[in-house]
Structure 1
């Protein structure tokens, strides 16, 4: 009925469940209108990227485990501190494998002394909950003061009344080439 192609959407400073996220980016691949009553807007696959500031990540983790505080420094290194050890922290690398986040220690700092952790040190598994609508986590990356989480959704569908679809086509036509929708019947 109508093929739109790829649409990228980015929102900044998003308030989600009381947490302010730096940004959420969505890439809707193969976006098209499926003929049905009412018409359905469909994209497959959908790629998501969420940038979470270090302070928001710490609040989320403290909500689950109050004895632990976290930070991601300006150097892009994640640090975990137990509340009873004020003068030290563990530097860690997160790695995502399926539905499990593995936290691998890479260094230990006590006061002003930093000790590297041997490569054979075990990683700590954190089993992640199932995400709604079949969303699958694909990546976890650290940056200066942020963590970026990537995810995919195999297919997204949304019922669109004809009036809403007409308005959407008009708005998309303004920013690119003209779009025409041929309505059945």
Structure 2
């Protein structure tokens, strides 16, 4: 999978062949087809691996916070999300855009996005239960924060932002204000 990832980043998905992948990986085509039925199945596996890495990166940042520090946990989620996305946006765009298009996934039925929303939703619901913020519609708040964070990060990518620390802190503050906290 690492060979495919490298080639997809260098050449693009459409220009990369199974032969390219197996040559770089140093394996026979039969070995590739033992694990994957097609290049697009490999792309799906890369998307799953990317999502697991993305979630683990966010979880590691959240885990540094005290369990009842809901503002800190949300801030950590936002900041890690921005840093991880900025550091991996090329692969993000390949695995999500190309994979969804190749297999025709309805954007409303997106297991990768839903996994990230569930992680964010747990923080928001925990904070609401603890009284950190009023939250009558947790799913709506999660969708808005998720969309906002990814939207502003796309803008940062386009602007070629090099250091995301202050930017991510500002975005986290905006998300907390949206929830009604005094930041």
Interval containing the TM-score (normalised by the shorter chain)? under 0.3
Greater CA radius of gyration, 1 or 2?
Answer: 1
**Length-normalised TM-score, structure 1:** 0.22
Normalising by structure 2, report the TM-score: 0.22
Structure number with higher relative contact order (C-alpha < 8 Å, ≥ 6 residues apart): 2
Which structure has greater strand proportion? Answer: 1
Q: Name the structure with the higher helix share.
A: 2
